[in-house]
Homo-oligomer: A and B are copies of this chain.
Amino acid sequence: MKNNFDPNLPIYLQVMDEIKRNIFNKMYQMGDKIPSVRELALMYGVNPNTIQKALSELERNGLLRGERAVGRYVTEDETILKKEMETITRDMIGTFLKEMFNLGFTKEEIINAIKETEVK
């Protein structure tokens, strides 16, 4: 089982993003128990320690809640979820726009380009 992570970024960050995404697109719902450290390690083809680091990080910022010897759960605090969701999307849109502007595009050109882009 090979992992397919970008070697230029720390794996634990990519795992964090992956899990955040799974939370935001409702694959893991509020209050759900997420897979155990060992399961995720197998799923991602990565060492358990790496998963551990990613998950504790997510616990620290409130997206997950850990219960010792039981498991980890997606927070049920909607405020945190919403806030995280918003910061992430705002970040993504912001950096995307900044980069496009740097390349000389205007807002209208960007929107047109998006409209013309095939959705696969």
Give chain A's interface residues, CB within 8 Å of chain B: 7-10, 13, 21, 24-26, 68, 85, 88-89, 92-94, 96-97, 99-105, 107, 110-111, 113-115, 117, 119
Report which of B89, B100, B111 forms a contact with A100, defined as CB distance below 8 A: B89
Quick one: closest B residue to A94, CB to CB?
Answer: B117
| A-B contact list, 30 entries, CB within 8 Å | A7-B68, A8-B8, A8-B9, A8-B10, A8-B13, A21-B99, A21-B102, A24-B102, A24-B104, A25-B102, A25-B103, A25-B104, A26-B104, A88-B103, A89-B100, A89-B103, A89-B105, A92-B96, A92-B99, A93-B110, A93-B114, A93-B117, A94-B117, A97-B114, A97-B117, A97-B119, A101-B119, A107-B114, A107-B115, A111-B111
